[in-house]
Structure 1
Amino acid sequence: MDKLTGMTVFVRVAKAGSFAAGARELGISRAMATKHIMQLEGSLGSRLFNRTTRSLNLTDVGASYLERCQQVLLDIEEMEAAVTQLQTEPKGVLKISAPPVIGATHITRAVVEFLKIHPDLKIDIILQGSPGDLIDEGIDIAIYLGALDDTSMVARKLATSPLVVCASPDYLVKHGIPKTPEELEHHSCLVNWAIAPRHKWQFRTETGLKIITVSGRVQTNAAHSIRIAAINGLGLVMLPTYIVGGDIEKGLLKVVLDDYALPPLDIHAVYPHRKYLSTKVRSFLDFLQEWLGPRAGRPSIE
């Protein structure tokens, strides 16, 4: 008998807890299910189940084999899906979660261009400060800024954005221009909780990474709030250039400490699991990475 079929029957029987239930789920007879399992045990030279008239339990070998079988069957499913998906256009609904600022600007622009070339696709964009529960909320892709705290997440790095420290010209006239990172401890630093770690600004110096604990008159999880506060002279901010680049060009904000290179802000796409990505997810990730990253020769989001 076909070993893959035997493995499929074994997994279904083990999950169902009985030969009869597993056979019903597969649409075969109990006798046929039993025959598949016996053939599998014969080829392995080991019992997979401890059988009694009242119960069916996996042996230690069976429990280990079940885990391996599930992975093999999953790999085959993904391989077959890959072949099918390569011949399929993105369609259906793609649900994306993104932080408000980058979501309303760069991500939305990318979505608009992506939809122009994929007419059978619809995209839902949710703007929220944190990725949320991807599985419970049915989110296909979540855009994540900064270091990934949860290493169990499946993530793909899309781009980086330079970080700058800046303040309004009025603030710098009144309170002075900081010349070193240490001087920030005596300034009002407007804190963006959305960029981890909170209250810790990092700088690269000749002696290595320098971490400064900062505080100020405004703290928020929304970058635009502290951007507005900074423009109005309430303190210094550390924000990505995709947020404050226009303000710097207009003279509303002035960059300080530009002799100290700041670690850039990483931008990741996070998705729920390691299974083979659908065409709509894979295609959009590829498109978005080009849009945010090396598109038009840009190494990062400005």
Structure 2
Amino acid sequence: MSTIPQARLPTPDLPGLLAFVRVAELGSFVRAADALGLSKAAVSKQVSALERRLGTRLLHRTTRRLSLTEAGQLYLRHAQTAFAEARAAEDAVAGSEREPQGRLRVTVPMTFGLLHVAPHAAAFLARHRQVTLDLQFDDRQIDPVQAGFDLAIRLGRLEDSSLVARRIARSQVVLCAAPAYLDRAGRPLRPDELGGHDCLHFSLAVSGRTWEFMRAGDVVRVALGARLDANSSLALKAAAIAGAGIARIPAFAVADALASGELETVLPDWDMPGLDVHAVMPARRYVPAKARAFVEFLVEAWRATPDWRRPSAGGPRRR
């Protein structure tokens, strides 16, 4: 009986794949050549050979601009995932005692990242001399796999089940305003009284303009208009301190202003849903040592800081 010979799959062009990934990530043949220790001509030749082998164009090249084709975007996502898996496997084989090394790409929320991640970057790099850190600040829910990140720090509810998440901290959310504003406009006693106030709204909130309050098992939701919309908690904090109105802001962003008296807690007898802080990584069999080291470092650093909680409802109230 005759057998039908099976088609032989071509061996992956690893040098070309690596050259393409570096060009795509760095946005330049020159910078990719520097990173790889090759000439620009050699990198260009490797990428061109890869395109011929695949039978499709991966990059649009002009004298002023370099961009990915649709096929290039798809190929880049798979290539980055393959490289990440390979690096993670090396970490696992080398054992947990190996010093973390390599470039660690992390996406963090803007305000939280500026206040509670960036200040610890220098100490992390001093402890792990073989790691380089790339922090990207963005409040959008970026897919770390597609964007080529090793780690994402996220706040609030998680929806993407294809990612592996670990809760590493939690912050309360507080309603607050400047004492001068409350002296002028009055201090609301119930959530439904907020409709008569100037409210400041975080425009990226997943709950939209509905604010939720909880007390003794009761849940009250209030749909509000807003005098000010902003996509930055720090912008809302500044506006609230200036007397623009009542803002809903995570405690990690306003704890200092509440402690100093610049802001006052509104509706102190009511709670609002808190924010979990998660470390989110692509679903891999092996977690890179550099990512594990960064997460553990943040947990350790935040353990030494005050809790991100609002002041006790029984505390002094400025009038």
Length-normalised TM-score, structure 2: 0.66
Per-residue CA deviations over 1:55-114 (Å, capped at 9, x if unaligned) read: xxxxxxxxxxxxxxxxxxxx9x98885242413111111011111111112111232221
**What is the Cα deviation at residue 126 of structure 1?**
0.8
Which residue does the alignment assign to 2:168? Answer: 158
- Give the alignment of 1:121-136 within 5 angstroms: 121-136=131-146
Whole-angstrom CA distance in 2 between matches of 1:206 and 1:283: 40
Report the CA distance shift for 1:120/1:298 in structure 2 as closer, same or farther (over 3 A).
Answer: same
Which residue does the alignment assign to 1:265? Answer: 275
Whole-angstrom CA distance in 2 between matches of 1:137 and 1:84: 27
Q: SS of the residue aligned with 1:194?
A: coil
Q: SS of the residue aligned with 1:136?
A: helix
Alignment match of 2:304 (pick from 287, 296, 299): 296
**What is the Cα deviation at residue 136 of structure 1?**
3.2
Whole-angstrom CA distance in 1 between matches of 2:90 and 2:106: 26
Per-residue CA deviations over 1:261-282 (Å, capped at 9, x if unaligned) read: 2222111122222331111011
Report the CA distance shift for 1:279/1:80 in structure 2 as closer, same or farther (over 3 A).
Answer: closer
Runs of 5+ in structure 1 lacking a partner? Answer: 1-17, 27-74
Q: Is the 8 A contact 1:145 1:195 kept in 2?
A: no
Whole-angstrom CA distance in 1 between matches of 2:175 and 2:287: 38
Runs of 5+ in structure 2 lacking a partner? Answer: 13-84, 311-319
- Percent identity over paired residues: 33
Whole-angstrom CA distance in 2 between matches of 1:240 and 1:92: 33
**Rg larger in structure:** 1
- Give the alignment of 1:1-302 within 5 angstroms: 19-22=6-9, 25=11, 82-292=92-302, 295-296=303-304, 300=308
Whole-angstrom CA distance in 2 between matches of 1:80 and 1:134: 21
Per-residue CA deviations over 1:215-271 (Å, capped at 9, x if unaligned) read: 221012111111111111111011112211111122211111111122221111222
Report the CA distance shift for 1:120/1:235 in structure 2 as closer, same or farther (over 3 A).
Answer: same
Whole-angstrom CA distance in 2 between matches of 1:283 and 1:214: 43
Length-normalised TM-score, structure 1: 0.70
Report the CA distance shift for 1:242/1:207 in structure 2 as closer, same or farther (over 3 A).
Answer: closer
Q: Is the 8 A contact 2:100 2:130 kept in 1?
A: yes
Alpha-carbon RMSD: 2.6
Whole-angstrom CA distance in 1 between matches of 2:218 and 2:158: 22
Q: Is the 8 A contact 2:255 2:308 kept in 1?
A: no
- In the alignment of these two chains, the number of paired residues is 233
